Structure 1
């Protein structure tokens, strides 16, 4: 006797972007938004042709049972910088968790830099974030993220219930295949945080730290030399860091830098240092300055 699974909730917000390039400049050829997600007008922060879009959630926060769906397709040779207007806040989620599902596709020679503001989980918050990435062997991806607990007016740390952050990264198995054809698993990155099960100030929860920073890089140039350079760049910050590198698939690799700290700003500074190195060495671009405030 089979039991039907519970139906997926209707999305509170949906966002779709298709980015193409023409005459050395990238732009959206398709743009869709519905509900509590949208993007601001595009900007060009330098003369590289990379287009910058800022995602906005007018509702201000994710609540219980909320579902947000984001779909981004960066076509051959296009360049996209995607960020958020402000921090993503997860409030109390009685009854059911909030969730975000993001699908990213990168074509041949495409470049995507994902640089959201921090994710803040407040008291009694439960959240699941699933990101599915498909890259061409020649494309380049940089994803940075900081996770921090919310704080109460008296300065005490809120105890969120649970955060599940899952990144599945696949690479096209054959450069001659059609888009969305056969793919190989390059990396599966799973993070599960449950503060109530451990003392937030003890060794049972992130080695005594409360904040988590992640930098995920997918590129043919991601190798042990880059891992060593990133480790050196981030060594001077008040954070505990580690770098891991996957085996090559179809000529490309995934690199994950993980950092633990007790400071959101320190992790933001550390991840900016890492992305600055990559932007300079790979793209010939200046350090990122989004000037949101």
Structure 2
């Protein structure tokens, strides 16, 4: 371990802890702590469902080499939480060591957690690792959407970042014990001599991902998503996990050349779930 990495592990650039519980029919913070370059804005409610929305903010504006950010979020029994970001997550040059985000998510019985961050942008010579450890209950509901895009390069070339590693480890906690539901491991490592992206990621520049964990996930939903995404300018695949404790996971991957197109595609899928499962309207975060 290099000195830079060791220092990052010992002293994260930003830490955030958030525990949400149900009080008076609404979801509210039961515990909140932040240190360094991470915090959340004042909570707000987008509709009358009781779901609380928190906006994650990094005042530093970007992740740099050897930066470590640690996020811990718990949605207690029956809590409904929406977590988004104030703006895109930007990964700049990381000479000497990668930037890293470690996120832990815990969902209680009947909890609903929705993650809808702005896009992750990796710039020239950026190396980034994102490790997310998730524990759900059989009655929990988790929806996570994310878009990854290459940043601007001075010579106009695509894929100038070095490496992106995105890892989601999902467990189901039951009375009989905790079992792994899925290990979703994504590695994007552009070819060193490829300046156009052709032959890499099927020639596309942007990647969209959707992870859904819920007892209502089944093959019919996967087929419905596949049909829904067919009308978008993107190449999409959908797969299901095994069923653990009555809970099944769904992973959707989509390739495109446009952040907006992927946002529309993922938005259509999440809108379907919000209306059908939660009786809520499509997301309208109104950030801009």
Question: Which residue pairs with 2:188 in the alignment?
Answer: 193
* Alignment counterpart, residue 223 of structure 2, candidates 220, 223, 228: 228
**Deviation for aligned residue 1:157:** 2.5
Distance 1:198 1:185 in 2: 38
Distance 2:158 2:198 in 1: 14
Matches within 5 A, 1:102-141: 102-141=103-142
**Deviation for aligned residue 1:74:** 0.4
Question: Which residue pairs with 2:248 in the alignment?
Answer: 253
Residue segments in structure 1 that go unaligned for 5+ positions in a row? 1-5
| CA offset digits 1:23-45 (Å, max 9, x no partner) | 32100010000000000000000
* Alignment counterpart, residue 238 of structure 1, candidates 220, 233, 239: 233
Residue segments in structure 2 that go unaligned for 5+ positions in a row? none
**Deviation for aligned residue 1:281:** 0.6
**Deviation for aligned residue 1:158:** 4.9
Query: Cα RMSD between the aligned structures?
Result: 1.3
Q: Does 1:214 align with 2:209?
A: yes
* Alignment counterpart, residue 280 of structure 2, candidates 268, 285, 293: 285
Distance 1:80 1:49 in 2: 9
Distance 2:280 2:165 in 1: 33
Q: Is the 8 A contact 1:9 1:65 kept in 2?
A: no
Question: Which residue pairs with 1:10 in the alignment?
Answer: 11
Question: Which residue pairs with 2:98 in the alignment?
Answer: 97
Q: Which piece of structure 1 moves more, 236-245 or 226-235? A: 226-235
Distance 1:158 1:215 in 2: 22
**Deviation for aligned residue 1:65:** 0.1
**Structure 1-normalised TM-score?**
0.93
**Deviation for aligned residue 1:197:** 4.0
**Deviation for aligned residue 1:192:** 0.4
Distance 2:237 2:114 in 1: 21
Distance 1:116 1:161 in 2: 22
SS of 2:191's equivalent in the other structure is helix
